[in-house]
Structure 1
Amino acid sequence: GKLIARGRYDHVRDWTETFYREHSELFARRVAGGRIRDGHGDLHLGNVFFEDPPVVFDCIEFSDRLRCCDQAADVAFLAMDLDFHGRPDLSRRFVERFVELAGDAELPELLPFYQCYRAYLRGKVAAFTASDPALGGEERRAQRNLARRYFGLAYAYAGGRDRPPFVVLYGLMGTGKTGIARFLRERFGWHVLSTDAVRKQIAGVGENTRVYVPYEEGLYSPTMNERTYAEVCQRAENLLLAGFPVVVDGAFKRRGDRQPVLELARRSGARLVFLEVVCAPPERVRRLERRRLHDTRSDGRVELMARQLAEFEPPAPAHARHFERLSTDGPRDATRRRLLELLQSRGLLAAGEVPLGRRS
């Protein structure tokens, strides 16, 4: 459940078992027809030099069982890796040319099965690598993200088409975004990405360290903002492609900050809603003062409110359909019920999934 959502795992398992059962005669014909070859076994892009002609190397010499396979499995491996690296055009051309030269008209029917298998296998390798204690924290995280992407591709080959929820809690400081994010994580187990936390991770500052700097300087400079939002989008993409719902908590005060998120939602097919969290200025002042006294993690300060408000941009009219607003002025339970109703109305929660009368 950490690198591939349970529902996606079940789908891939059921799809592959059904495919194998329904195509048993085709698999038998492949054996009888000599399509099982002493091949390569590990034909991904890292094992090909694209010279003239291309040079393929590093086959699995140590294991006949892994190297000897249906030639469709080798073709599917390279085609899958081309898809993974953003070149589906080359993937299609490679398969078409192989089918033509090999006279293997049945291969395209088997291709999704073996592409799913190869993508899932690469995901497992990355997942095992991520558990290697010899790796540093960044290397392990990179391998986990790689595993999520490969598992997501395997799911797509298996016909998976779900659209995970993608909630961006944005707005001015002191409005209660972090509390809403925490509620969604605790209620549904959704992954939460905090721009404040990511910002401090990039800078090598402890997440619980309070950093007071002048407005848009140092840790909060435009350059650092750009790096932070880019990293948050990358992490969100890795999670969404693996099928996990994602909540992002951050200011996103400018339209330019939001544009990469909109593009990410289009790429991933996620169900996106930008939820502007608002409350009355006196309440914001009260909350910021309370945080100053009791919360060492928060860098928001009353003296920064006016500058942030002056620079806060409304949604672009062309994207207004992706935006909603949630007030946190009232009682906490009432706010949470409004939140759940809003998410249900947007299709991010199934009807009846949440007992709206329940107190939290």
Structure 2
Amino acid sequence: QIDRLDRLSQVALEQHRQLLDRRRDEGRVRHCHGDLHLGNVVLLEGEPTPFDCLEFDPGLATIDVIYDLAFLVMDLLHRGLRPHAQRALQGWLEISEDDEAMALLPLCLATRAAVRAKVSGLQGEADEARHYLDLAVAMFDTTAPLLVALGGVSGTGKTTVARGLAPDLGRPPGAVILRSDVIRKRLFGVAPEEKLGAEAYQPEVSQRVFRRMAERAARLLSSGQAVIADGVFGDAWQRELMEAAADGKGAAFAGLWLEAPEAVLADRIAQRRNDASDATAAVLRDQLRAIDRTQITWTGVDASGDPRATLAAARGSLRTGG
């Protein structure tokens, strides 16, 4: 198993040598924490807070930022907390948009797991060492990338479904979620929860938003990471962009269209708090009038029930090839 890990790691290192060097030249190698496993994170006044960074050798702590994050993600995976690992990676990507780093993620996760395997072995914890070693090898999983697009008018629960599906799709720690609402807010340089005016929803802005989503999806798929695209996708050209992004990278594609009665949707929108969506009941009515359901070929998903039922229906559609 050690020999296998060594071979896989050497192949990955050679494959990404130029990318690693370029990222260093572009400033992605920095003085980081260096030892960011869960034993060095404490819940302090309700906030996860890193401590005990690698201080005795600044050179060892001067690393690619994705290698720093990989320790935390790997340790969450080791503890069987894959949804938490996916959310940690997701949060970092929403801030950094460092999509090209995903090509390095398997190597970084495997190396971090190998470090813990060695430490556990030196401490006489043989079972723990083997567990970390098996995890290290598993990080080179070659699962083919998949793009799942979740469409539907506001209030159908697309984001909740995306978060439920993400940890189980693709290689560890799961799919990266690209949400049109979040991308739009970043284009305007505001926090996801900050409201935007009507000018942010003009057709030319939406063109930029969905083209940005397609570009990021293609880049992530190229790295081997699964992707979930979350947006209304009311216009045919938006749906076609996502399908083309998958096709251009030889990735599998599944389009799901979430549906529920207008009264249910309006009630959900009214109850939203601290969400990236700016949709109102009036926006919902406009969407329902504008979208021609007969032109949508994506698989319909009943989103009228509670979130668990909708998530189960979406999973069922993916299993049956929807």
2:175 aligned with 1:194: no
Q: Which residue of 1 aligns with 2:58?
A: none
2:239 aligned with 1:287: no
* Cα distance in 2, alignment partners of residues 290 and 310 from structure 1: 22
Q: Which residue of 2 aligns with 1:122?
A: 18
| Cα contact 1:173–1:251 (8 A) shared by 2 | yes
- Aligned pairs for 1:1-360 (under 5 A) are 13-14=7-8, 119-128=15-24, 129-132=27-30, 144-148=98-102, 163-186=144-167, 189-211=174-196, 213=197, 217-291=198-272, 294-314=273-293, 316=295, 320=297, 323-346=298-321
* Cα distance in 2, alignment partners of residues 11 and 194 from structure 1: 35
What is the Cα deviation at residue 12 of structure 1?
Answer: 11
SS for the counterpart of 1:241 is: helix
| Cα contact 1:130–1:141 (8 A) shared by 2 | no
What is the Cα deviation at residue 333 of structure 1?
Answer: 2.6
> Kindly tell me: are residues 254 and 12 of structure 1, through their superposed partners in 2, closer, same or farther at Cα, counting changes over 3 Å?
farther
Q: CA RMSD in A?
A: 3.5
* Cα distance in 2, alignment partners of residues 174 and 265 from structure 1: 26
Identity among equivalent positions (%) equals: 22
* Cα distance in 1, alignment partners of residues 18 and 261 from structure 2: 50
Instruction: Give CA-to-partner distance per residue, 1:81-140, whole Å, 9 cap, x none.
Output: xxxxxxxxxxxxxxxxxxxxxxxxxxxxxxxxxxx87642112224444234799x99x9
What is the Cα deviation at residue 16 of structure 1?
Answer: 7.0
What is the Cα deviation at residue 198 of structure 1?
Answer: 0.6
For structure 1, list consecutive stretches of 5 or more residues without a partner in the other structure: 1-9, 18-115, 153-159, 348-360
What is the Cα deviation at residue 258 of structure 1?
Answer: 1.5
SS for the counterpart of 1:175 is: coil
> Kindly tell me: are residues 339 and 146 of structure 1, through their superposed partners in 2, closer, same or farther at Cα, counting changes over 3 Å?
closer
| Cα contact 2:192–2:275 (8 A) shared by 1 | no
- The one-letter code sitting in structure 1 at the alignment partner of 2:176 is H
What is the Cα deviation at residue 161 of structure 1?
Answer: 7.9
* Cα distance in 1, alignment partners of residues 234 and 31 from structure 2: 40
> Kindly tell me: are residues 122 and 313 of structure 1, through their superposed partners in 2, closer, same or farther at Cα, counting changes over 3 Å?
farther
SS for the counterpart of 1:181 is: helix
* Cα distance in 2, alignment partners of residues 280 and 117 from structure 1: 52
For structure 2, list consecutive stretches of 5 or more residues without a partner in the other structure: 33-63, 65-91, 107-140
What is the Cα deviation at residue 178 of structure 1?
Answer: 1.1
Instruction: Give CA-to-partner distance per residue, 1:31-53, whole Å, 9 cap, x none.
Output: xxxxxxxxxxxxxxxxxxxxxxx
What is the Cα deviation at residue 13 of structure 1?
Answer: 4.4
SS for the counterpart of 1:305 is: helix
Q: TM-score, normalised by structure 1?
A: 0.53
What is the Cα deviation at residue 162 of structure 1?
Answer: 5.1
SS for the counterpart of 1:208 is: coil
